Structure formats: structure tokens, C-alpha cells
Amino acid sequence: MNSRRKLVIALGASALTAPFGSFAQKRTNNVPHVAYLSTGSMATNSAFLGAFKDALRELGYVDGRNIAVDATWAGDAAYEFPNLATKLVKGNPSAIVTTCVPSTRAAKQATRTIPVVMSVDGDPVASGLVESLARPGANVTGTSTLFEELIPKHLEFLKAAVPKARNITILVNPASLTSPYFSAKFEEAAKQFGVNPAWSEAKIAADLESVFASMKKRRVDAFIVLTDAFMAGQVQRIVTLANIYKLPGIYGFSEFSEAGGLMSYGFSFRDYYKGVAGYVDKVLRGVKPSDLPVEQPTKIELVINLKTAKTLGIEVPQSILVRADKVIK
């Protein structure tokens, strides 16, 4: 049994989607190769990858034509990132795009010369990924967010829109590396707002129907959907189920409110990946990662869908409407 087959078995059937052997072939055609290193699989976490490819296309890079984007998935086995990163580096890609702190750390440890463009949730300075936001140093740069810091605001806006809400659940992907941090922040914020916190888990699309049915059965008053790649890939399904079960929710990405979700506080993940693609464009043009300051989102928007509010029988108070950056009627 060859080594690649062994790796696939170790990580699960979803571990790898592109053979490492294809890297050299693409380089001989003078096409830059970008490695994409992520948890999950193409089936569960492809939303961010799709947004990244779309953003590259806007910059003139078409996957399979003048650039090669190869995704390597770690499944649920984040401990495999060091091995996966080492194998990626042997293929000598033009850049490595990482999607979390562990994958970024593994890539940084595997190479000091190949540019690493991160798109992580967390503090890259505290995590030791960069020296500072302004001067990242070494070969790592990119974007970072602190999504867990938005959770108190999610509760604030949700409680303002649905004042009687007491039982509020947070919808999380148990396979996500950030779920424990999100959950801890949610529990802390729940005490501040006097609500009863609960957790609902969905790992694959097939989980969502039963999850919403369970929320209704447990008399959940409202819910929060966080910023996870799997959730981002289920925008329409989640919004549809929320409206079927008459459950008001607030979301971390604006794509949800635009698709019919009650409200969102955050930003567009598609716009976010335009920033990631911009970094890749720069390093492919020869700019050193150490010369590119790390960016964090500066515009967090509150979007309210009044059409959905009406369907749910919710009258959003004027005090919240005036704070909204966008109101969908």
C-alpha cells in the first residue's frame, strides 16, 4: 500500500483531494501553484475555498488556467497539520494559504522561505505566528479576525430584537477548532444578558433538519450561528429551516441576512477572502510577506432583514434599526 493511500486511511476518506504528484507537472507549465491547507473536507468546508477562488478570479487568476489551487484537508485530525505541511513544502508551492492557527503554525514550521498567507480566527501575535501586525517578519502574513469578541454584541442585538428571549442556543460545528473558544465566550456573555445558554451541534448538512426540530422541541427562543466554514456553506439551508421553524437568529456573516436570515453582525466572508486573495496576488508578484502588514476587518456591519422579521412576527425596535448599517425591506 503506498504512502498516500495510508495517509488517506489515517485521516478519513475526505483527507486529500489533489495528489501531491500533480504539483511538479503544474510548475513545468509555468503556472503558479497555491497550496490551501484546511481542516474539514471538500464536502463540509468548501465555502471558504470557493470564496477564495472567486476572489482570485476577480484578480485575473483562473484556477486550472493560469494558477493551480490545490486543497489539502486534514479532516478532524488537526494534529496531522505538521505532516501535511511538510509534504506540501516538498512540492515547492508558490504560496501556502492557511485557514486556522494550527495550520498556519505547521506551515511556518515547515518552511521559512515559501510565503504563507493566513486567514485565521485568533490573535496571530499572541499565537506566535507573526512578530506584530505592522511588521509580521519572516514568511507569514495575511488576515486575522477575532470573531469570538463579537458574541456579546450578537446577544445584545438579538435580545433587543426579541426581548422575551430567554433560552438562546448557539449553533456550532463540533469539528471546528474554534468552537470551544466560541462556546466559552457565549457562556460568559449569557450571564451578562441573563439568558439560559444552550448548544446545538451540526457537523454535516444532514444534521441540520434534526437540529432545528430539536431546538423547537426544547423551546429555544432564538439562536446564534457563528463564523464557521461549514455553516457558511449552508447559508440557504439554515435560513430556510430557521424560517420554517419560526426561530429568530443572528448570524456572523452578512450572507445569511441577505439570504433571508433575521439579522447578522459581522461581515461578508466573500469580501473577507478578497483580502486573502489580494495577499496571494502580492506575494506571487514578488512582494515579501515581511513587508505586508497583517490586516484585520475594520468594518463590522449590522444587517437587519425586515421582511423576515415580519414573517417571524417580530417588530424590530427603532433603537436597533437606527444602528443598522443595512436594512433589507
Spelled out in words, what is the top-level CATH class assigned to the domain 148-268+300-328? alpha beta
Alpha-carbon gap, residue 120 to 123, rounded angstroms: 8
Using one digit for the tens of pLDDT, what is the confidence trace for 291-313? 999 999 888 999 999 999 999 99
The pLDDT value recorded for residue 122 is: 87
Query: Is residue 25's pLDDT more than 60?
Result: no
Which overall architecture, per CATH, does domain 3-145+270-291 show? Answer: 3-Layer(aba) Sandwich (3.40)
Using one digit for the tens of pLDDT, what is the confidence trace for 206-251? 999 999 999 999 999 999 998 899 999 999 999 999 999 999 999 9
Alpha-carbon gap, residue 230 to 248, rounded angstroms: 20
Query: Is residue 16's pLDDT more than 80?
Result: no
Biggest CA-to-CA distance, the chain: 65
Query: Is residue 163's pLDDT more than 60?
Result: yes
Give the pairing type, strands 222-225 and 196-201.
Answer: unpaired
Per domain, the residue ranges of the chain are 3-145+270-291, 148-268+300-328
| Same fold flag, 3-145+270-291 and 148-268+300-328 | yes
With CA atoms as reference, report the closest residue to 131 among 287, 293, 276, 272. Answer: 293
Residue type, position 168, single letter: I
Using one digit for the tens of pLDDT, what is the confidence trace for 249-302? 999 999 999 999 999 999 999 999 999 999 999 999 999 999 999 999 888 999
Give the pairing type, strands 263-267 and 301-305.
Answer: antiparallel
The whole-chain average pLDDT of the chain stands at 90
